[in-house]
Structure 1
Amino acid sequence: MNNNNNRYYSDDPNQQLQYNQQTPNQQDPFNQNSKQPQQLAYQIGNVNHAAFNNPMAVNDSECSGLVSSADSDIRAGFIVKVYAIMSFQLSITFLLILASYYFQNVRNAIINTSTIQYTPLTIFCFVIALVIEVAIFCCRKVARKVPLNYILLTIFTLCFSTVVAAPCIICFELLSNGVQLVIIAASITVAITIMLTIYAWRTKTDYSAAGHFCFVLSMSVLIMCIIGLFVRNIWFHLFICTLCIIIYGGYIIFDTQLIIGNHSNYLTIDDYIIAAMLLYVDIVILFLRILEILMIIFGKT
Structure 2
Amino acid sequence: MFSISTLYDGSGIETPELSPRTGKEHPPSYEEASADYEEMQTQFSWDDQAVRRIFIRKVYAILMIQFFVTVAIVALFTFCAPVRFYIQTHPHLYMCSYMMFLTTYIALNCCGEQIRRQFPWNLVLLALFTLSLACMMGFVSSFYNTKSVVLCLGITALVCMSVTIFSFQTKIDFTSYQGVLFVLTMVMLFCCIILSIVIPFGYVPWLQAIYAVIGAILFTLFLAFDTQLLIGNKRYTMSPEEYVFATLNLYLDIVNLFSFLLSCFGGGRD
TM-score range, shorter chain: 0.7 to 0.9
Aligned twin of 1:78: 55
Residues 132-179 of structure 1: CA deviation (Å, up to 9, x unaligned) = 1122123222111110100000000000111111221001xxxxxx11
SS of match in other structure, 2:240: coil
Give 2:242's aligned residue.
271
Aligned to 2:129: 156
Check whether the contact 1:257–1:264 (CA below 8 A) recurs between aligned residues: no
Change (3 A) 1:215 1:133: farther
Over 3 Å counting, the alpha-carbon distance change for 1:300 and 1:89 in structure 2 is closer
Deviation at 1:21, TM superposition (A): 8.0
Identity fraction in percent: 28
Of residues 56, 72, 80, the one that matches 1:95 is 72
Shift of 1:277: 1.1
Unaligned stretches of 5+ in structure 1? 9-18, 30-64, 113-117, 172-177
Where is the helix percentage greater, Structure 1 or Structure 2? 2
Report 1:33-72 matches (<5 A).
71-72=48-49
Query: What residue in structure 2 maps to residue 62 of structure 1?
Result: none
Q: Is the 2:73–2:135 Cα contact (8 Å) retained in structure 1?
A: yes
**Counterpart amino acid of 2:226?**
D
Distance in structure 2 (CA, Å) of the matches to 1:230 and 1:133: 28
CA 1:182 to 1:70, structure 2 compared with 1: closer, same or farther past 3 Å? farther
Question: Counterpart amino acid of 1:168?
Answer: S
Q: What is the rounded CA distance, in whole Å, between the counterparts of 1:258 and 1:4 in structure 2?
A: 41
Question: Where does residue 242 of structure 1 map in the other structure?
Answer: 213
The 8 Å contact of residues 156 and 254 in structure 2, kept in 1 or not, is answered as: yes
Who is 1:131 aligned against?
A: 103
- Which of the residues 139, 142, 152 maps onto 1:166? 139
Once the two structures are TM-superposed, the CA of residue 253 in structure 1 deviates from its matched residue by 0.8
In 2, are the aligned partners of 1:214 and 1:247 still within 8 Å (CA)?
yes
TM-score, with normalisation over the residues of structure 1?
0.71
Write the distance in 2 (CA, Å) between the matches of 1:133 and 1:264. 26
Q: Is the 8 A contact 2:231 2:237 kept in 1?
A: no
Instruction: Indicate if the aligned counterparts of 2:163 and 2:220 stay in contact, CA closer than 8 A.
Output: yes
Equivalent residue letter for 1:194: M
Q: Is the 8 A contact 1:211 1:251 kept in 2?
A: no
For 2:82 and 2:117, locate their aligned partners in 1 and report how far apart those are by CA, in whole Å. Answer: 37
* Pairing of 1:217-256 with structure 2 (within 5 A): 217-231=184-198, 232-256=203-227
User: How much has 1:223 moved relative to structure 2?
Assistant: 3.4
Structure 2 CA distance for aligned equivalents of residues 201 and 286 of structure 1: 20
SS at match of 1:229: helix
Give the corresponding residue for 1:145: 118
How many residues were matched structurally? 238
2:163 to 192, 196, 218: 196
Distance (whole Å) between structure 1 residues aligned to residue 101 and residue 264 of structure 2: 25
The Cα RMSD (Å) is 2.9
Q: Which has the larger radius of gyration?
A: 2
Structure 2: gaps spanning 5 or more residues: 1-14, 17-26
Query: For 2:115 and 2:183, how far apart are their aligned partners in 1?
Result: 27
TM-score, normalization by structure 2:
0.78
